[in-house]
């Protein structure tokens, strides 16, 4: 673990000491080296157990794919931010990269934590850099409101989680995941126990987000700059999913009655947010709501607590992380040229930027879960396990798949096909950097088709 | 101010608090409190400005009332039990009266009404002394009587202070009033754990003093007393602006900053004592305070150039303040969380 943490920490001196001419090159290169090193984490000692050399940080097949995703995303974020930050003074550029790096550091420690309180502290610690990225570097005045919603929704969910964890520590004596996995879960008899059960999960449900508590997400994703949107969509939402998976295995397994309202909300949310996507005029908002929709499926998969449900959840989290981040990068390429997120203003781009249309095509196919991409594998596994849990869910999940396909197709046809928008006079050609960025997003998705066992979690 | 007078006043301030720390007799403790009150009065009124004089008068009246209540309660206890020792106080009426008197001294809700108005009338340095040094002596007394205090009263004081401190600060734009309500909220956290683990309350007090000192000194350095003038600090000192934002978030109790440590430890103590509902209410009430700290962060740091600013620029004069205290307290306010076990071993 240290072989990833120390280079990430060393990214701080790199950012502040390197000459301005080489800043972006050096940081991107170092972040790529860290990402390559993180791939060694995929070499598990045992297929279901923990690999840890110290009592505080460890990896297991659940956290490793997410760790690799996090490490992979940092060079991509730096690549994506290079253009819009370059007009600022050099110390602000360095501050921006420092924020991204500190976010990376907290995320690595969160995914690698074996002590639940360490996970909690790192979970909360990711809020501050994200808040600063959204509110300082966002582009519209609504970003302040977005930052407030983001911070307060997450904290209102996670402060009860802190109390719940402290209660758990009082009951069990230890909060180390290595130890708790062998302990008997306490039966939930009283109302207070049921509230404690809910308190354990609400923080992660708000973070995922679950449909009823999702209002922070469109605001935060839309107002954030590209690196903020990427890290939010790709990793921070998955932090909620990861936390939920860790917590729910320690809770009473027969709490199925308590999980009903959340499963219902999640499934209904897929339909609702998918339908909203069909009526969106703001491109980033469309992608944000599509994130809520996919995460609703993940939430449902986790809450039913079956092996296939978990596996599907992890696969969908990884695949959605890469695909959603790719879509945000594409939306950003439009934004940098037109300074507007309106869908109608960027019509018919295939005639103008044909190579970028390829990336739009692949990213949208990934979003609508085309076989054989891993997005489909995740969705199908979850839908199957939900069908096993209750046959009626197929109506909602099947309808959700249909609506996802519709809005993804709608997004592709609106932005790429049709007449070129008459208000566009001259558009910069695509930068090689942008092509590289998209390739680095989509090639891992395609490669994961070839070895999906890396993402299957404990169910090898 | 004449340096000799300043020397006498500051040393009296020190002597008063030290006297209260060192005493085991209620009368001597009361004397120490009165000496520190009397010593700070001229400091508060040094500018002879009507607002400063008003603040001084309000401070004097409330502190004198509290001191009289302390005297009354200790004599009642002495009359019924014959005991003047602070740690041997046993008469329940006297204990309730003493608790309310000390609550009035430090500004706990529901007897907090004097604190925002008094703090608003002072300059930032005297406000700093009021928020930090003047809390030490009453806290020494509260620490000593904590095993005997009425539990219901203490929890009521704690909960009310956190909630009122959070809600009261929401509508404020003057920085000193915001810091007054922040003080009330933090004092609520200290009180709530006082009867279960008084050492945690002292730890919270020490960390609060560090964070508040950092905040007051930052504001003094950029001479701003309103939210609107805070918006211009970035042009004077960009680095201090960033650090001040982090200090404010630390006051709000966000991990991984120091301010999270007392909240975490207090919530842990409360859950160990089977008070999870109290713990949850305290935690959620802290979100109210976080809102106005966040608003200060927005005004100061997160809306800097190239975003447009609607405020009239102020003169950018180089501050003659020495920054050693500011740098030490800022460092403490931001980086102590990883060494929590060491700090706990030192204080509990």
- The DSSP annotation for B77-101 comes to HHHHH---BGGG---HHHHHHHHHH
* Confidence label for A67 from pLDDT (cuts 50, 70 and 90): very high
**Residue A166 and residue B254: Cβ atoms within 8 Å?**
no
Same domain, B206 and B271: yes
- Looking at the structure, tell me whether residues B142 and B209 fall in a common domain: no
Q: What is the predicted ipTM?
A: 0.93
Q: Nearest chain B Cα to A155, which residue?
A: B287
Does residue B185 share a domain with residue B334? yes
Predicted confidence (pLDDT) at residue A35 exceeds the cutoff of 70? yes
Cβ contact A226:A150 at 8 Å:
no
Which residues neighbour B307 within 8 Å (Cβ) at sequence distance 6 or greater?
Answer: none
Tell whether the torsion through CA atoms of B163, B164, B165 and B170 is positive or negative.
positive
Split at pLDDT 50, 70, 90, the class of A129 is very high
Q: Is A206 on the interface with B (CB under 8 A)?
A: no
B287–A124 C-beta distance less than 8 A: no
Question: Residue A66 carries which DSSP code?
Answer: H
Which residues have CB under 8 Å from A79's CB, separation 6+?
A28, A433, A436, A437, A440
- pLDDT over 90 (residue B343): yes
- With CB atoms and an 8 Å threshold, state whether B271 touches A155: no
Of A391, A390, A326, nearest in space to A360 by CA = A326
Q: Is the dihedral of CA A69, A317, A155, A188 positive or negative?
A: negative
Residue B127 covered by a domain: yes
Residues 399-458 of A with CB under 8 A from B: none
Residues B248 and B122 in one domain: no
Looking at the structure, do residues B296 and B213 belong to the same domain, yes or no? yes
Quick one: pLDDT at residue B302? 79
Q: Which of B242, B283, B303 sits opposite A162 (nearest CB)?
A: B283
Q: Are residues B272 and B246 in the same domain?
A: yes
B329 and B187 fall within a common domain: yes
Q: What is the pLDDT of residues B57-84, one digit of tens each?
A: 999 999 999 999 999 999 999 999 999 9
Check whether residue B188 and residue B120 sit in a common domain.
Answer: no
- pLDDT of B306 reads 63
pLDDT confidence bin for A108, thresholds 50/70/90: very high
Co-location of B21 and B108 in the same domain: yes
Identify the residue among B237, B262, B271, B307 best suited for mutation to test binding to A, counting A beta carbons within 10 A and taking the highest: B271
Interface test with B, best of A159, A171, A175 (most B CBs within 10 A): A159
**Are residues B271 and A106, on separate chains, in Cβ contact within 8 Å?**
no
Overall number of domains in chain B: 2
| Rounded average pLDDT over A17-44 | 93
Q: Which of A166, A193, A194, A203 to probe by mutation at the B interface, max B CB count within 10 Å?
A: A166
Pairs from A177-182 (Cβ < 8 Å, separation ≥ 24): A177/A50, A177/A113, A177/A114, A177/A115, A177/A116, A177/A246, A178/A50, A178/A52, A178/A55, A178/A58, A178/A114, A180/A116, A180/A250, A181/A249, A181/A250
Give which of A286, A285, A292 is closest to A271, Cα–Cα.
A292
Q: Do B294 and A121 touch (CB under 8 A)?
A: no
The pLDDT of B293-316, averaged and rounded, is 78
List of chain A residues whose C-beta atoms are within 8 Å of the C-beta of residue B255 = 120-121, 124-125
Classify the C-alpha dihedral B239-B242-B246-B249 as positive or negative.
Answer: positive
Q: Is the pLDDT assigned to residue B305 strictly greater than 80?
A: no
| Domain-embedded: residue B314 | no
Q: Of B99, B122, B149, which one is at a domain's C-terminal end? A: B149
Residue bearing the bigger pLDDT, B237 or B271: B271
Contact B286 A159 (CB under 8 A): yes
The reply to whether B181 and B276 lie within a common domain is: yes
pTM of model > 0.80? yes
C-alpha distance from A84 to closest chain B C-alpha (Å): 13
State residue B287's pLDDT score: 94
Give the per-residue pLDDT at A185: 75
Interface A-B, measured as beta-carbon pairs within 8 A, has a size of 74
Pairwise CA distance, residues B73 & A37, whole Å: 69
Main-chain dihedrals φ then ψ at residue A47, nearest 5 degrees? -80, -20
Q: What is the pLDDT of residue B307?
A: 63
Q: What is the pLDDT of residues B1-17, one digit of tens each?
A: 899 999 999 999 999 99
Q: Is B128 inside a domain boundary?
A: yes
pLDDT value for B312: 73
Q: In B, what residues contact A, Cβ < 8 A?
A: 238, 242, 249, 254-257, 260, 264, 267-268, 271-272, 276, 279-280, 283-284, 286-287, 290-291, 294, 298, 301-304, 337
Residues B84 and B188 in one domain: no
B36 within a domain of the structure (yes/no): yes
Model confidence band, residue A272 (pLDDT cutoffs 50, 70, 90): very high
Task: Single out the residue of A290, A371, A293 nearest to residue A331, CA to CA.
Answer: A290
CB contact burial B169-182 (16+ within 10 A = b; e otherwise): beebeebbbbbbbb
User: What's the pLDDT score for residue B319?
Assistant: 79
Name the percent of chain A lying above pLDDT 90. Answer: 72
Taking CB atoms and an 8 Å cutoff, what residues of chain B touch A196? Answer: 276
Residue A46: pLDDT band with limits 50, 70, 90: confident
The residue among B111 and A141 whose pLDDT is bigger is B111
Is residue A188 predicted with pLDDT exceeding 80? no
Over range B130-154, report the average pLDDT.
Answer: 94
Nearest to B294 among A151, A162, A167 (CB): A151
Average pLDDT, chain A: 91
Query: Would you give the distance in Å from CA A459 to the centre of its chain?
Result: 22
Range of the domain at B205: 163-306+324-347
pLDDT of the residue at A460: 60
Residue of B276, B287, B294 lying closest to A156 (CB–CB): B287
* Chain B partners within 8 Å of A170 (Cβ): 271-272
Q: Tell me the per-residue pLDDT of B89-108, one tens digit each, with 9 for 90 and over.
A: 999 999 999 999 999 999 99
* More confident site: A138 or A325: A325
Interface of A with B in 78-117 (CB under 8 A): 91, 95, 106
**Residue A258: predicted pLDDT:** 83
Strand partners, B226: B174
Using an 8 Å CB-CB cutoff, list chain B residues near A128: 249, 254, 257
Give the pLDDT of residue A254: 58
Distance from CA of B276 to the nearest CA of A (A): 7
Residues of B in contact with A151 (CB under 8 A): 290, 294
Q: What is the pLDDT of residue A253?
A: 65
Tell me, yes or no, whether B197 lies in a domain. yes
pLDDT band at A361 (very low <50, low <70, confident <90, very high): very high
B291–A148 CB contact, under 8 Å: yes
- Considering chain B, what percentage of its residues have pLDDT values greater than 90? 84
Do the chains contact at B276 and A144, CB–CB below 8 Å? Answer: no
Residue B11 resides in a domain: yes
Q: How far apart are alpha carbons B335 and B259 in whole angstroms?
A: 9
Is residue B110 one of the residues assigned to a domain?
Answer: yes
Distances (CA, A) of A357 to A79, A120, A319, A419: 20, 41, 20, 14
Q: Closest chain A residue to B271 measured between Cα atoms?
A: A167
Confirm or reject contact between A155 and chain B (CB < 8 A): yes
Tell me the C-alpha to C-alpha distance, in Å, between residue A125 and each of A106, A154, B337: 7, 12, 12
Tell me the mean pLDDT in the region B127-148.
Answer: 94
Tens-digit pLDDT profile for residues A397-446: 999 999 999 999 999 999 999 888 888 888 889 999 999 999 999 999 99
Six-digit token string for A99: 């924020």
Distances from the Cα of A87 to the Cα of A81, A222, A419, B209, angstroms: 11, 21, 33, 41
Give every CB contact of residue A371 below 8 A, 6+ residues apart in sequence: none
B35 with B141, same domain: the answer is yes
Mean pLDDT score of chain B:
93
Binned at pLDDT 50, 70 and 90, residue A134 comes out as very high
Inter-chain CB proximity A124 and B301 less than 8 Å: no
Helices B26-44 and B124-132 cross at an angle (nearest 10°) of 170
Checking if the pLDDT of A369 tops 70, the result is yes
pLDDT value at position B308? Answer: 66
Residue B181 forms part of a structural domain: yes
Distance between CA atoms of residues A64 and A72, nearest Å: 12
């Amino acid at each position: 673990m240290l072989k990833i943490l120390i280079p990430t920490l060393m990214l701080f001196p790199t950012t502040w000491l390197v000459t301005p001419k080489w800043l972006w090159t050096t940081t991107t290169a170092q972040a790529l080296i860290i990402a390559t090193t993180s791939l060694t984490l995929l070499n598990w000692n045992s297929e279901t157990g923990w690999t840890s050399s110290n009592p505080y940080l460890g990896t297991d097949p659940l956290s490793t794919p997410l760790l690799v995703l996090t490490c992979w995303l940092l060079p991509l974020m730096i690549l994506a931010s290079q253009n819009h930050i370059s007009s600022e003074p050099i110390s602000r550029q360095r501050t921006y990269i420092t924020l991204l790096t500190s976010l990376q550091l907290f995320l690595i420690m969160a995914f690698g934590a074996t002590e639940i309180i360490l996970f909690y502290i790192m979970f909360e610690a990711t809020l501050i850099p994200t808040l600063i990225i959204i509110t300082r570097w966002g582009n519209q005045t609504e970003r302040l409101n977005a930052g407030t919603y983001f911070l307060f929704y997450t904290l209102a969910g996670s402060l009860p989680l802190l109390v719940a964890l402290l209660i758990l520590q009082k009951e069990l004596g230890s909060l180390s995941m290595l130890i708790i996995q062998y302990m008997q879960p306490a039966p939930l008899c009283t109302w207070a126990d049921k509230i404690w059960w809910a308190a354990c999960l609400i923080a992660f449900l708000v973070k995922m987000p679950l449909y009823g508590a999702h209002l922070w997400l469109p605001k935060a994703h839309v107002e954030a700059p590209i690196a903020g949107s990427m890290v939010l969509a790709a990793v921070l939402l998955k932090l909620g999913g990861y936390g939920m998976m860790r917590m729910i295995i320690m809770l009473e397994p027969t709490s199925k009655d308590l999980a009903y309202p959340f499963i219902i909300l999640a499934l209904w949310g897929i339909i609702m947010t998918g339908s909203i996507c069909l009526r969106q005029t703001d491109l980033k908002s469309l992608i944000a709501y599509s994130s809520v929709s996919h995460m609703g499926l993940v939430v449902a998969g986790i809450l039913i607590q079956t092996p296939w449900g978990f596996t599907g959840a992890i696969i969908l989290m990884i695949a959605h992380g890469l695909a959603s981040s790719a879509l945000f990068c594409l939306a950003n390429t439009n934004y940098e040229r037109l300074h507007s997120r309106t869908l109608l203003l960027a019509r018919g781009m295939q005639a103008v930027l044909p190579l970028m249309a390829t990336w739009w095509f692949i990213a949208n196919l990934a979003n609508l879960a085309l076989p054989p991409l891993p997005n489909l594998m995740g969705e199908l596994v979850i839908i199957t396990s939900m069908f096993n849990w209750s046959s009626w869910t197929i109506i909602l999940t099947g309808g959700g798949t249909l609506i996802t396909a519709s809005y993804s197709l709608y997004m592709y046809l609106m932005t790429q096909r049709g007449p070129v928008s008459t208000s566009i006079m001259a558009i910069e050609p695509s930068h090689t950097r942008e092509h590289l960025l998209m390739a680095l997003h989509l090639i891992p998705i395609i490669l994961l088709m070839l070895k999906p066992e890396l993402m299957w979690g404990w169910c090898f | 101010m004449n340096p000799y007078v300043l020397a006498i006043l500051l040393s009296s301030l020190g002597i008063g608090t030290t006297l209260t720390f060192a005493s085991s007799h209620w009368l001597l403790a009361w004397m120490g409190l009165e000496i520190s009150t009397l010593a700070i009065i001229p400091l508060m009124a040094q500018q002879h400005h009507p607002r400063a004089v008003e603040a001084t008068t309000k401070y004097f009246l409330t502190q004198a009332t509290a001191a009289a209540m302390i005297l009354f309660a200790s004599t009642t206890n002495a009359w019924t039990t014959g005991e003047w020792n602070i740690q041997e106080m046993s008469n329940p009426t006297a204990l309730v009266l003493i608790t309310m008197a000390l609550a009035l001294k430090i500004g706990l809700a529901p007897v907090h009404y004097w604190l925002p108005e008094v703090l608003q009338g002072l300059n930032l340095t005297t406000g700093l002394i009021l928020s930090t040094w003047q809390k030490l002596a009453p806290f020494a007394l509260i620490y000593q009587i904590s095993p005997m205090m009425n539990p219901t009263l203490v929890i009521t004081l704690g909960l009310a202070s956190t909630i009122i401190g959070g809600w009261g600060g929401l509508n404020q734009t003057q920085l000193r009033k915001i810091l007054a309500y922040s003080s009330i909220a933090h004092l609520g956290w200290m009180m709530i754990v006082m009867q279960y683990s008084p050492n945690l309350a002292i730890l919270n007090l020490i960390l609060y003093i560090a964070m508040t000192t950092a905040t007051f000194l930052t504001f003094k350095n950029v001479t701003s007393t309103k939210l609107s003038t805070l918006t211009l600090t970035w042009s004077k000192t960009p680095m201090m602006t960033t650090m001040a934002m982090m200090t404010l978030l630390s006051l709000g109790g966000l991990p991984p900053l120091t301010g999270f440590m007392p909240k975490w430890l207090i919530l842990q103590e409360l859950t160990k004592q089977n008070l999870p509902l109290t713990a949850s209410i305290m935690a959620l009430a802290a979100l109210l305070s976080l809102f106005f700290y966040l608003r200060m962060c927005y005004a100061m740091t997160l809306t800097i150039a190239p975003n447009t600013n609607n405020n009239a620029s102020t003169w950018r004069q180089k501050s003659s303040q020495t920054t050693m205290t500011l740098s030490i307290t800022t460092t403490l306010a931001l980086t102590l969380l990883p060494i929590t076990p060491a700090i706990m071993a030192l204080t509990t």
